[in-house]
Amino acid sequence: MQSGNVDVRREGETCVVLLDRDEKLNAISSAMERDLLELVSGEEFRSSRCVVFAGAGRAFSAGADIGEFREMTPERVAGYYAGSGDVYEQIAALPIPTIAAIHGWCLGGALELALAMDFRVADETAVFGLPELELGILPSSGGTHRLVRLVGPGRAKELIMLGERFDAHEARRLGVVSEVVPGGRALDRALELAGRLAERPALAVSVVKQAIDAAAESSRGAGVVLERFAYGMLAQTDEAQAAAEAFGERRDSGRKD
Catalytic residues: 112, 132
User: Could you give the 3-state DSSP secondary structure of residue 31?
Assistant: helix
Of 99, 92, 49, nearest to 202 by C-alpha is 49
Can you say whether the dihedral through the CA atoms of 210, 211, 213, 217 is positive or negative? positive
Sorted by sequence, the CB contacts under 8 Å of residue 218 that are 6+ apart come out as 226
Q: What secondary structure does DSSP assign to 197-255, as a single string? A: HHTS-HHHHHHHHHHHHHHHHS-HHHHHHHHHHHHHHHHTSHHHHHHHHHHHHHHHHT-
Q: Which amino acid is at 164?
A: E
- 14-19 and 98-102 as β-strands: parallel, antiparallel, unpaired? unpaired
- How far is 192 from 59, CA to CA, in rounded Å? 20
